[in-house]
Structure formats: structure tokens, C-alpha cells
Amino acid sequence: MSQLAIYNPANGEPIAELAADDERSVAAKAEAARAAQPAWAARSLEERKACMVRFRDGVVRDLEALAVTMTRETGKPISMSRSELNGLLGRIDFFVGMVGPVTATETVFDEGGMKERIEHMPLGVVGNISAWNYPWFVGCNVIVPALLTGNAVLYKPSEYASLTGLEIARLLHQAGVPRDVFTPLVGAGPVGAALLAQKIDGLFFTGSHATGVRIAQAVGSRLVKLQLELGGKDPTYVCDDADPKAAAQSLADGAMYNTGQSCCSVERIYVHEKIHDAFVAAFIETVKGFKVGDPMREDTYIGPLTRAAQLDVLDAQVADAKVQGATLHTGGHRLPGPGNWYAPTVISEAHHGMALMKEESFGPIIGIQKVTGDEEAVRLMNDTRYGLTAGVYSRNAERAQAVLSRVNAGSLYWNCCDRVSPRLPWSGFGDSGIGVTLSTYGIETFTRPRAWHLKFTG
Ligand code: NAD
């Protein structure tokens, strides 16, 4: 077996060596999951719900240690690691509360001795290949509803969040989920590829567009149910009637929270020319107030980037924007190592000829562009291949909703941003993906509806 080395992105130091899976071990685990799934599905829903409640109890009990593990391997500031784990609890509560109503067998017709029923069956064995930026959220958006609905799960956490992935497995097993019903697979891309080669009934992926396309190609010919939650280039428009300071403070947080490494980070901002200068000044002031440093410190707001390779993407976007005449107000460079450090960066006078406004940045950097009004803002917001989220800041609800309704995105925000709710469907338009997690749709998606035609002949 080969080893997977885990490094702390804050200082580059090794923190663990894990035994990694290979093609043979993945195949054996997939076979065991296939054998174990029917008995799991045959358990009562109440038993499966009780397992998830015990899993939740385990998260609460171990929360501090889990937060430290996540911070050490991803660089997420510790206060944000705690917030993610606390936010997870509400998601589990939602899934446990709603799985019964969503999956109850429905009689949809009952007349003259003829009954029609819909039964909700599990898909079977599902694969989950996950990202590192919110490993508890994106993992459990799949794992919890998939297990509740009677599926077995083969879970490949990101190689940048493997310790967290193994903690998820430990707590699920301690909560009573059989080892073969929930199985972590340790490793990088090749282990994910080995999972795709197995007989699976669904593949649920969170990660980059490039990997998503590769995965779609790998499973496409086998007609495996596929969900892809991919990247974004999420825009926000600040109207002339918005409070420039309040909008700037809210959007600086939306752009830089988790060091800008959120799928729904604010990635580009369009500001009405009437309040542009006041907005930019307030934005810069807010960003200069963000504390950059050791992610284990309570007051740190900006930590290291999780992946060193992203530093090159940010350098290239800044250099390209500067060459094309953008104004760099703060940041725009790496910070001294060791570790993957980038200064929070604010750029205005940006335009769509720049990669900064077109390609996902996934770091503590923002491009701001001046616009003349709603028409130009809508055109620019839609000038993208992505469509995850979009926002408008305005005092006028009607105006904001009129603008938002014309934007191609799966989640729309008025006077808020970078927000996810378990009650609402999470999905992307265009290159941001296919399929849905969260909400009742994100439970139903792990089931297959079966139609019953029942004729009573007495
Ligand atoms: P990534 O695509 O590099 O990796 C994602 C996962 O795919 C990892 O587990 C990786 O090991 C695996 N993988 C890599 N190559 C593979 C292959 N050939 N076959 C099978 N598996 C393979 O993405 P990442 O860097 O982990 O995550 C960042 C990206 O995820 C960003 O683009 C971000 O926007 C996106 N994201 C989207 C959402 C969403 O809800 N839409 C949520 C979180 C992150």
C-alpha cells in the first residue's frame, strides 16, 4: 500500500502519513458495500435516523478536536472550523426531520378498485468524491441523506481533508453505521478514478469543473446517476440606492471568508457609478482590517490557502489585471512562507477582458467593476459559463428582484451573500454543475421512485 502524506498549509510541515487505497482495495470495499447495502436498507427508517442522531451527538462531543484537525490540514481559521461544525448540526436535523415525509410511500390515485402508488427506493451503492474547502458540509450533504435513505456510501474525501474524512467515518461507525455501509477511501485523484471503475448506482461529486468533466466522461457510458457540484464565478451588483459602507462590509466578508475558498464566495462585484468610489474605499478599509495569520489563533480571519498551486492562479490573475490597466489597492502578492500565504487583494477598474472577472479565483482576491445601471449589470453578471449564486444590494426589493430574476444562477441573494440553507436547494446552472443537494430535493435525489399499479379484483 502506498502512503498519503498530509501537510499543514500554514507552515508546510508534515502532520500525518496515511495508508492510501489502491485499485485492489477499492474494488474489495465496493464489493463489500454491495453485499452490505440490502440489510441496511431493510432496517427501519427509525433505526437509520437514530444512527444519524448519534453521529450528530458525536460531532457535538468531539467538536473542538474535530475543528483543530480541520484547521491543521486545511488551514481554515479555527473560528470558521467551529462554525462549520456547528452549522452541520442544523443540516443533520433538517435531513433527519424531513426524510420521513419525503420518502413516505404515496398513494396518488385510488378509484374503482385501482390504486397507484409511488415508492421511494434507495439507489443502492453510491460514490461520493468530495472537496476540501468545507469538508464536513459538502461531505455530509451527500453522506447523511444517502445513508438515511438506505444507500451504502463509498466516500473519497479530498486528499487535502483526509484526516477529517476519517473522523467522519469514525463517528459514523461509532454511531452504529456498519463499516461496509459507510467506507472511506483514502488517496488522491487515482483513488477517485478507481472508485469510478466500480459498479456503483450513483456518483455524487463536489470539486472543480475540470475534474467534474473527467468524471462525467468516465461514468457516462455506464449511465450511472451523476451529480456534479462544481465551481462558480459568483457576481454581486451594488445598486446606487444601497448603503455603500454596509454593502462593502458585507461583501468583503462574502469574498474573503474561508480565505476566499468557498464555492459561493463573492468572486466579482459590479458597483453603480454613483456610489462606486465610496464603496471601493469602504471595501479596502474593511479588508485592511482583516487579521491575517496563524489559523489556530482565535482572532485570525485570513489563513493560508489550502493548496499551494492556487498561489500561481492568483499571481497570474493579478499580473494580467495590472497589465490591462486595473487598479491594485492592496495585496496582490504572496506573503513570506513557509506555507501558502497570499495577501488579501482588492482590484478595481476591472473588466471582462481579465481572467480575474471570468475564471474562478478561489482565494482572498476581488475584482470590482463600475457600471452605469441595471442593464449593464445584468449583462455582465450573465457573461459567464458558471451559474452558482448571484446577489444584488439595494434598498428597493422590487428592483433587486427584477434584476435577480434575469440572472442565470441557482441561488439568488438580496442584501446578503455567501449563504447556504439546508431548507433550500443547492444547485448550479451552466458549468457550475448538475443535480441538487440540500432541501427536500437533496433527500429525494438519493432515491429511485418506483411505480405501483394495483388492481383489486375482489
Ligand atoms: P478537485 O476537482 O481538484 O478535487 C475534487 C475531488 O476529486 C478530490 O477528492 C480529488 O481527489 C478528486 N479527483 C481528482 N481527480 C480525479 C479523477 N480523475 N477521478 C476521480 N476523482 C478525482 O477540486 P477541489 O480543489 O477539491 O475543490 C475545489 C473546487 O470545488 C472549486 O472549484 C470549488 O468551487 C468547488 N466546490 C463546489 C461546491 C459546490 O457546492 N458547488 C462546493 C465546494 C467546492
Q: Across residues 95-116, what is the average pLDDT?
A: 97
Residue 248: inside a domain, yes or no?
A: yes
β pairing state of 433-434 and 225-229: antiparallel
Sign of CA dihedral 412, 418, 424, 426: positive
Question: Residue 303: its pLDDT value, please?
Answer: 98
Residue 158, ligand 1, Cβ within 6 A: yes
Q: Is the pLDDT of residue 1 over 90?
A: no
Closest CA to 228 of 429, 385, 408, 435: 435
Q: Across residues 364-377, what is the average pLDDT?
A: 98
Residue 94: inside a domain, yes or no?
A: yes
Last residue of a domain, one of 230, 261, 295: 230
Q: Is the pLDDT of residue 247 over 90?
A: yes
Same domain, 221 and 337: no
Q: Give the whole-angstrom CA distance, residue 148 versus residue 139.
A: 14
Residue 247: inside a domain, yes or no?
A: yes
Residue 190 CB-half CA count within 13 A: 8
Q: Is the pLDDT of residue 94 over 80?
A: yes
- Pocket mutation for ligand 1, best pick of 18, 23, 129, 164 (most atoms within 8 Å of C-beta): 129
Same domain, 253 and 186: no
Interval 344-362: pLDDT, tens: 999 999 999 999 999 999 9
Residue 450: inside a domain, yes or no?
A: no
Q: Are 3 and 162 in contact (CB under 8 A)?
A: no
Helix (H, G, I), strand (E, B) or coil at 265: coil
Closest CA to 373 of 389, 344, 394: 394
Q: Are 330 and 287 in contact (CB under 8 A)?
A: yes
Same domain, 88 and 211: yes
Q: What's the domain range around 364?
A: 235-421
Q: Is the pLDDT of residue 31 over 80?
A: yes
Residue 218 CB-half CA count within 13 A: 20
Same domain, 158 and 174: yes
Instruction: Provide the whole-model pTM.
Output: 0.97
Q: Domain containing 400 — which CATH number?
A: 3.40.309.10
Residue 128: inside a domain, yes or no?
A: yes
Please give the mean pLDDT across all residues of the chain. Answer: 98
Bridge-partner residues for 203, per DSSP?
A: 127, 226
Provide the grid cell at 458: 375482489
Q: Where are the beta strands (DSSP E) in 67-217?
A: 106-111, 114-122, 125-129, 152-156, 182-184, 202-206
Same domain, 159 and 258: no
For ligand 1, atom 34, name the residue with the nearest CA.
231
> In angstroms, what is the span from residue 3 Cα to ligand 1's centroid?
21
Helix (H, G, I), strand (E, B) or coil at 34: helix
Same domain, 107 and 225: yes
Last residue of a domain, one of 197, 230, 263: 230
- At residue 145 the predicted structure's pLDDT band, cuts being 50, 70 and 90, is very high
Same domain, 219 and 246: no
Q: Give the whole-angstrom CA distance, residue 332 versus residue 322.
A: 10
For ligand 1, atom 40, name the residue with the nearest CA.
229
CA 199 to chain centre: 26
Q: Across residues 325-334, what is the average pLDDT?
A: 98
Same domain, 142 and 164: yes
For ligand 1, atom 19, name the residue with the nearest CA.
193
What total of structural domains would you count in the chain? Answer: 2
For ligand 1, atom 16, name the residue with the nearest CA.
189
Amino acid at 195: L
CA 377 to chain centre: 26
Percent of the chain predicted with pLDDT > 70: 100
Same domain, 103 and 168: yes
Interval 180-207: pLDDT, tens: 999 999 999 999 999 999 999 999 999 9
Helix (H, G, I), strand (E, B) or coil at 178: coil
Q: Is the pLDDT of residue 386 over 90?
A: yes
Please report which helix (H) or strand (E) contains residue 355, including its range: none
> In angstroms, what is the span from residue 49 Cα to ligand 1's centroid?
29
Please list the alpha-helical segments (H only) found in 43-109: 45-74, 78-103
For ligand 1, atom 22, name the residue with the nearest CA.
189
Looking at the CA of residue 188, tell me the nearest atom of ligand 1. Answer: 11
Looking at the CA of residue 141, tell me the nearest atom of ligand 1. Answer: 40
Please report which helix (H) or strand (E) contains residue 38, including its range: helix 23-42
> In angstroms, what is the span from residue 158 Cα to ligand 1's centroid?
7
Residue 199: inside a domain, yes or no?
A: yes
Q: Domain containing 115 — which CATH number?
A: 3.40.605.10
Residue 440: inside a domain, yes or no?
A: no
3-state helix, strand, coil in the chain (%, to 5): 40, 20, 35
Residue 130, ligand 1, Cβ within 6 A: yes
Q: Is the pLDDT of residue 213 over 90?
A: yes
Same domain, 135 and 208: yes
β pairing state of 202-206 and 345-348: unpaired
Percent of the chain predicted with pLDDT > 90: 99
Sign of CA dihedral 384, 388, 393, 399: positive
Provide the grid cell at 22: 489502491
> In angstroms, what is the span from residue 213 Cα to ligand 1's centroid?
11
Same domain, 118 and 193: yes
As a three-state string, the secondary structure of 366-388 is: EEEEEECCHHHHHHHHCCCCCCC
Question: Residue 240: its pLDDT value, please?
Answer: 98
Residue 86: inside a domain, yes or no?
A: yes
Q: Across residues 447-457, what is the average pLDDT?
A: 97
Closest CA to 92 of 59, 132, 134, 133: 59
Same domain, 298 and 402: yes
∠ CA 360-364-370, rounded to 5°: 70
Residue 156, ligand 1, Cβ within 6 A: yes
- At residue 458 the predicted structure's pLDDT band, cuts being 50, 70 and 90, is confident
Last residue of a domain, one of 180, 209, 230: 230
Q: Across residues 40-58, what is the average pLDDT?
A: 98
